[in-house]
Structure 1
Amino acid sequence: MTDSRLPDDWLHALPGMLAGGDCVLVTVARTQSSAPRGAGTSMLVGTAHCIDTIGGGHLEWQAIHHARRLLDAGNRQPALLRYNLGARLGQCCGGVVWLLFESLPATSADAWKSRISAVDRNICLERRLTYRSAASDWRLSEQPGSGNRLDGDAADWRFHQGIVDSRFPVMLFGAGHVARALVRQLQPLGARITWIDSRDDAFADVAVDGICTLITDIPESEVRNAPAGSYFLVMTHNHSLDFALCEEIFKRRDFAYFGLIGSHSKRASFEHRLRDRGLPAERFDELTCPIGIAGIVGKEPAAIALAVAAQMLQIENSRHLLRQAGQRRLSDPHRLPEEP
């Protein structure tokens, strides 16, 4: 099993990038008004190629150009540059972006592998950097949470960043056509997928890089082992197994999403059987069946997968906003001055 890579998951891409030589980590340290990406967004720039994006357009082109100048000159000193996203830069966002450039040596690859392993265990990776620093101070912290803060002014600035694993846990039961299409949709969207089936050859012809795959005769046991906040999707080849999984999932009250593939008649049948087994009727609202957002009526596996992935992403985005709203606001008495 390998770690899944998101389109903007620079962290997991870094060791591979460093295998080819030094690179520059470009980070959005702060934004004002409209900007292509938010603070904390990062990309890696090497001499031959780049990984991920800070928003594209002329801003990104300028950032890549500056990063490669640093690499060519062997300049390791971190730098903070301000970009006005107006006509002069060839962009019409109208906001302001502060970009932080920091060269990372190829010799640090092993250290980064250790940091990545810690982040995957839900440990926060903290970054602290000042205008005087020769390099960022990277530390691991058991305190949960992430955030970005740029304080000071152009001559005396301080940057703090907290990096955590933001992937959401998906427990996918069944490896049929829809499940395969759904995996392709979910991987780039930030899902940490555990894919479970009872058939020995379920994943024989499937690319499973970045996915935890499990073959088990008792997939119900994986429901009990799933982390809190999991997204459960039941779409096996067997209705009896679907029902057994539904029973097990309903024993929990801490899931973020519970989807069952099938029609309204399948839902009605399952509800009747669950009611006979003592499940309170009010809990049926926790089950999504049929699955997928409204308005996509195609029955092709790719169409169903698109509708389901969109539905899950809507829920995850809402949960993310709620988590942000609940975070403690940091006092920033020395913020960089606002632009007029």
Structure 2
Amino acid sequence: MIDWLPALVRTLAAGDSAVLLTIVHTVGSTPREAGTTMLVTPGDKLGSVGGGQLEWLATSAADALLEVGGPPRLLRFALGPTMGQACGGIVWLAAERIDTATQPEWQVRASAVEAGMGLRRRLSDTDGASGWTLSDPRLAGSGPDFAHLTTHGEHWCFSQQLGGDPFPVYVFGAGHVGSAVVRALTPLGTQITWVDGRAELFEAAGPQADNVRPLVTDQPTTQIATAPPGAYLLVMTHSHALDLELCEAACLREDFAFLGLIGSESKREAISRQLIHRGLHPERLDDLTCPIGIPGIEGKHPAAIAASVAAQILQVRETRMAIGHATHPGPDVPPLSSLPRPQ
């Protein structure tokens, strides 16, 4: 999810320019990784490049670009004692002004991203602005987000893939725990399909973020069948019988990223016996996580369960992404001596 994109389109449509602050490279310990982007608009900002003095200086540079304009700038920050930060690493950050005249182009990009497309970005030391192109996430090389800085002599080029990895999460159940889980997962880059047959629960929950799609249906197993490969499935309905149906439908697939069922060890045993009795091969149950949540958190409050579940899903996701990056490594990291000087 490109969380700053809708805000950028709204800002440009309102007649204001904005600045994208993007970390293009890091060395050593830093608070955020390459590819992290913060949007700075007149009087507001969305996201964070790491907080503290780093973010204050970066935001000040963005405010200057908003006031006087100019081409993209490359900034370098050593996060040591002179900056009042103890990370010890180094951050290279690009600051680029986006002018109101480009609003129609950004509207087209935003609509395409909402329809499932990704964005590719290229910015070099000789460019007056980034080049942006749409990418199809179904094609090779257009998958999970990446951000790479390459150098050649005194010249540099930053390339970035955004979107194309939608992080689909299906939450079955809109009770207290399901609602808490949706709230915990909403700001984490997820695309949430929230499924329940009780419309009044969604009405009570109120308006949802752009990345949450409440769905009222009396046939929730259909959503299991149509979920994209790599989806994260969380089963936490009010009915044991419905939980059983959803788990059976999920276990008939072998391409989901995670299947979690709320409940105890005894519930897992009961569900397992019933699924095996229905003909499911016992090995398929190895992919069922129940109880859900990271070990060591025993609290039963919905918010505590939600925090534990969100952390577990992030662990699974980052493990899968690390495996994917190891299988398809990016360009070599440039040596420190060749990295560009700040402008």
Q: Which TM-score applies when normalising by structure 1?
A: 0.90
Quote the residue 1:171 is aligned against.
170
**1: CA distance, partners of 2:103 / 2:156:** 27
Secondary structure of residue in 1 paired with 2:70:
coil
**2: CA distance, partners of 1:305 / 1:81:** 38
Cα gap change, 1:53 to 1:189, in 2 (>3 Å): same
**2: CA distance, partners of 1:20 / 1:53:** 24
Quote the residue 1:51 is aligned against.
46
Confirm whether residue 225 of structure 1 aligns to residue 220 of structure 2: no
Quote the residue 1:209 is aligned against.
209
Note the C-alpha offset of 1:253: 0.7
**1: CA distance, partners of 2:314 / 2:330:** 26
Q: Which amino acid aligns with 1:60?
A: E
Quote the residue 1:267 is aligned against.
268
Note the C-alpha offset of 1:336: 6.4
Conserved in 2, the CA contact under 8 Å of 1:151 and 1:335?
A: no
Quote the residue 2:117 is aligned against.
123
Structure 1 segment 124-203 matched on structure 2, within 5 A: 124-142=118-136, 143=139, 144-145=142-143, 146-152=145-151, 156-203=155-202
**1: CA distance, partners of 2:334 / 2:167:** 34
Q: Which amino acid aligns with 1:83?
A: F
Conserved in 2, the CA contact under 8 Å of 1:148 and 1:160?
A: yes
Note the C-alpha offset of 1:338: 5.3
Secondary structure of residue in 1 paired with 2:250:
helix
**2: CA distance, partners of 1:205 / 1:163:** 34
Higher mean displacement: 239-248 or 177-186: 239-248
Quote the residue 2:56 is aligned against.
61
Quote the residue 2:16 is aligned against.
21
Measured against aligned partners, the alpha-carbon deviations of 1:98-117 in whole angstroms (never above 9, x if no partner) come to: 11111101232332232123
Q: CA RMSD in A?
A: 2.3
Note the C-alpha offset of 1:282: 2.0
Confirm whether residue 33 of structure 1 aligns to residue 28 of structure 2: yes
Confirm whether residue 77 of structure 1 aligns to residue 67 of structure 2: no
Note the C-alpha offset of 1:248: 0.9
Quote the residue 1:256 is aligned against.
257
Which of 99, 105, 113 in structure 1 is aligned with 2:99? 105
Secondary structure of residue in 1 paired with 2:199:
coil
Measured against aligned partners, the alpha-carbon deviations of 1:65-113 in whole angstroms (never above 9, x if no partner) come to: 111112211x231111222222222222222211111110123233223
Conserved in 2, the CA contact under 8 Å of 1:131 and 1:155?
A: no
**2: CA distance, partners of 1:124 / 1:200:** 33
Cα gap change, 1:72 to 1:121, in 2 (>3 Å): same
Cα gap change, 1:333 to 1:283, in 2 (>3 Å): closer
Q: Which amino acid aligns with 1:40?
A: G
Quote the residue 2:282 is aligned against.
281
Secondary structure of residue in 1 paired with 2:241:
helix
